[in-house]
Structure 1
Amino acid sequence: MGNIFVLVAGSATVAFIIYRLAFRTFSGVSAAFGHLAPIPTIGYNNLLLSYIDAVRFFGRGKDVLAEGYAKHKGGFYKVALWDRWLVVVSGPMAEEMRRLPDDTMSFTDFVNDYFAQKFIFGSDLIDNPYHLHLIPSKLTKNLGSLFDDVREEVLVAFKELVPEKDDEWVVFPAMDAMRTVVCRTSNIIFVGQPLCRDIGWQNLNMRLAMGNQVASDRSLLIPRPLKPLLAPLLLNVDITAREASVYLQPLVEERQRQYEQHGIDYPDKPNDFLTWMMDGAEGPPRSLDDMARRILHLNFGAIHTSTLIMTHVIYNLATNPELWLQPLREEVERVAMTKMHKIDSFIKESSRVNALSGISLLRMTLKDYTFSDGTFIPKGTSLAAPTTATHEDSVIYEDPLTFKPWRFSDMREGSESAKHQFVNTSPEFLTFGHGKHACPGRFFAANELKMILAHIVMYYDVQLENESHIRPPNSYLAVNCIADPKANVCLRKRRECG
């Protein structure tokens, strides 16, 4: 399928470029010599040569965004992507953009257009994302009652992943292991036990999560008018949804029987996402296929992001365990999880230094707009704020390129303790976005990640393979920062635990 896609997409894209060049427009936007001409360009300010910059961006996106930030901090600049111009906004102008109403600057339209999710997952799911609305209304409000279930799943997952071998180190691929733990702890919330522990179910969702990220990245190579034709070839969600339905069908049928016999508040009713979706059904019952697609969609969001964050965290921890393990252990032994400021700071600092995406505050203009500094942005323009460049700004963060695990816990010693928590967003910390469109699942993700890290430091000694102190390097693809997917970490039963 991958080779077929490359062949079809390549041929179609060449034809498209020839067509666009003939009419001297760039993906429906008036290009560098049109309405966006006054905005500085990083790279060639030329339609034909901009495609060279678009290719360059895939390999050096981090550097391109940093160059623009250094030259135009507090204002605007634009970079050429394969299918559009991306206008990058920072400082007060980014805050002005963030505060604009959705009918002027739309987060949803940017995400659906840029990542082609409507064509990959289907318009029914994207146009009616009721499952996402359940995250703040149900998931976040139930975090306290779900705490013990998640903690138990972390414990069981690690027992299976890291068999006890007395005083021996267990070597395993960090990213694969973190993905499995995150999948299990997420699905205890999504579908409950015993399905969250089913290897087939785990593999199905992990495969979909990885496949959808690859599909989203490849979709950037498709010219926008061709996305409806080519994007569905990137990931066959129909087949995966049918497979997921086989697993979910017994659960759904049993819960429907309970509804019919006892009503909505039946005895021993599961407290999970599948139940919340079934409770919220209006009119005809939600179809099995529809619920399967939504659970898969939730799994993509939960597994991909948290796996990468946790992989970065364990690489940082294993690089200098002699410095950082003991302070974390002392905190976990001393206070409740809500008071674990060092654990929280370690994860937040890791995500600052290793921001998963180089852009945030994603918006698409639904109407022409002129900013307060006079910058005109036409309808249909894609805009974003620079995450990594902001996180590496020495005016905002002292010694910003250095990983300082207690950076944020030290800040919490002052009067603004809550401001520096991992879940709290700001114009200076953009891992989860900021404002009304900040990631709604960040409260669950933060608790999940803190629980995993606390478990690791309490029960295991940690090091890199061959006792290395050189952190596995990140790689970059367009705006994505990717932890080394092949590096190994070593865990050994903590000696102090006996």
Structure 2
Amino acid sequence: MFGDITTNPYHLETIIRSDMTRALRSLVPEMLEEARMAIPEHVKIHGAKNSVTVTLFPTMVRLVARVANRAMIGAPGCRNEKFLKKQVSVAEEVIPMSQILNWFPLFLRVAVWKLFCVTVGAKDGAVRLVTPYVQSRIDYAQQVWSCIAGLPFSHHVQDNPSTITDLLLRYAPEEDLKDVPKLAVRVVHLNMAAIHTSGIFITHALFELARMPSEQVEEIRAEIRAAIESEGGVCDKAAVDKFYKLDSLLKEIGRFHSLFAVSSSRVTLSEAAITDGTVLPAGSVVGFAPKPLHHNAQMYPDPYTFDPFRFAKLRTGENAARDITQSFTHLSNDYIVFGLGKHGCPGRFFAALMIKVVVSELLLNYDFAFPAGASQTPKSFAFNIFTVPNPSAKLVFTQRK
């Protein structure tokens, strides 16, 4: 579907696992600025009114697409509505199609995929629209490089990354630098992994905030304000890292609202035996079942109750603030939202940071409520192994004074 990115995933193995995580500090101001510009455009309050009702999940997905692409390709590309619409469509079409392809024998899958691309073409459209912005990053890097005699092309983007695409250029082979659409495909792939999952978490977070007692919501707001004040009034990465109660809310969402019925699926390449003595023949498909694991009463007291501060309350003792074992992004055998071990989601630090930037900005500027007469527990939508928030459920945003 995406060319050679599966056989040569340099955009995941090196960039996302190490370089992008180190670059997060420089990306926060960009994402925050874009969130502050984009939120009023997606949560439009007109005239003398001080509130508006929005269809939450699709609105948050569009908002995330813009903020994520401020980090991914920069401005003005992140504001290209045609590109963003196509990019959002990629996951909505490619992920279900990947499941449908499993219904066909191997020799037919390429033909079925090509037919699908001809009739829909979301990926190709997104690649075509993002290519000029990727080219502009190459041109900019080359311009700087030409002014610095004796230094390799990668020097500028290595020391001064202002977008994730800059990091991509650092490791791109020469043939990809000459074939810009091949780089654009990787940008589209990274976007596909980032947008919808982050949109799901933000949607669940806002639904939960609308259900929570006002006292608890104010606790989260107060901690956000205090964290920003502790950094001289600047909402930078250091401040966001102190949003412990918001972090706890997000982790509890991952525990309580399972995104997948089965996760971290793998195929055994040879016969294997698991600890209870069961022998799995070669070719067996195995995976984790997140819901029963995350609702294990031995690990999580009162597991069927949503407790937004469940993990914040576990940050105790002298080094409570630094207790990363309770953090949203921490991997453990009892919390597998982001996978486990060396195959854990490499982009989880970027996603968590972006989600916190967006949710904190919404929290500081709006109150949330369900429309009069609407269900406060809108039923999620399930397809195959995936579960997403109700795509038609609405939420009322009221401007805070």
With structure 2 as the length reference, what TM-score do the two structures score? 0.86
2:8 is aligned with 1:128: yes
Residue equivalent to 1:144: 25
Q: 1:186 to 1:437 in 2, by over 3 A?
A: same
Which one of 268, 273, 278 corresponds to residue 370 of structure 1?
273
Larger mean Cα displacement after TM superposition, 321-330 or 420-429 = 321-330
C-alpha separation in 2, matches of 1:222 and 1:305:
27
Structure 1 counterpart of 2:163, from 272, 276, 301? 272
What is the CA deviation profile of residues 134-169 of structure 1, one whole-angstrom value per residue up to 9, with x for unaligned ones? 112211011112211111111111122223445521
Shift of 1:279: 2.3
For 1:450, the equivalent position in structure 2 comes to 356
**Counterpart position of 1:474:** 380
Structure 1 pair 147–478 and aligned structure 2 pair: CA distance change class (3 A): same
Candidates 230, 240, 244, aligned match of 1:341? 244
| Partner in structure 1 of residue 200 of structure 2 | 308
User: Displacement, 1:175?
Assistant: 1.1
Percent identity reads 29
Partner of 2:216 in structure 1?
324
Alignment RMSD: 2.4
Instruction: Give secondary structure in 1 for the equivalent of 2:372.
Output: helix
Distance 2:366 2:124 in 1: 41
Number of the residue aligned with 1:485: 391
State whether structure 2 residue 63 is matched by structure 1 residue 174. Answer: no
Q: 1:390 to 1:249 in 2, by over 3 A?
A: same
Q: Equivalent residues in 2 for 1:374-453 (5 A)? A: 374-414=277-317, 417-453=323-359
Aligned-partner Cα distance in 1 for 2:275–2:393: 48
Partners in 2 of 1:190 and 1:348 — Cα distance? Answer: 25
Is residue 281 of structure 2 the alignment partner of residue 281 of structure 1? no
Write the letter of the residue equivalent to 1:413: T
Q: Secondary structure at the match of 1:348?
A: helix
Q: What is the CA distance between 1:468 and its match in structure 2?
A: 4.5
Does the CA-based 8 Å contact 1:309-1:356 persist in structure 2?
A: no
Q: 1:298 to 1:401 in 2, by over 3 A?
A: same
Q: Deviations over 1:301-348 (max 9, x none)?
A: 001211111111111112335353211111111123212211001111
> What residue ranges of structure 2 are gaps of 5+ in the alignment?
228-238
TM-score using structure 1 length = 0.70
- C-alpha distance in structure 2 between counterparts of 1:136 and 1:451, whole Å: 21
Partner residue of 1:216 out of 84, 88, 98: 98
Q: Distance in 2 between matches of 1:248 and 1:147?
A: 21
What are the equivalent positions in structure 2 for 1:12-411 lying under 5 Å apart?
120-122=1-3, 124-133=4-13, 134-165=15-46, 166-223=48-105, 226-235=108-117, 236=121, 237-262=123-148, 264=153, 265=155, 271-286=162-177, 287-320=179-212, 322-335=214-227, 336-411=239-314
* Kept after mapping to 2: 8 A contact 1:192/1:270: no
State the secondary structure of the residue aligned to 1:408.
coil
**Alignment correspondent of 2:234:** none
Separation of aligned partners in 1, 2:171 and 2:147: 18
Q: Which residue of 2 aligns with 1:19?
A: none
Aligned length: 375
TM superposition shift of 1:285 = 4.8
Larger radius of gyration: 1
Question: Tell me, what secondary structure is at the counterpart of 1:384?
Answer: strand
Contact in 2 for aligned 1:313/1:350 (Cα 8 Å): yes
Q: Which amino acid in the other structure matches residue 203 of structure 2?
A: T
User: Tell me, which stretches of 5 or more residues in structure 1 are unaligned?
Assistant: 1-119
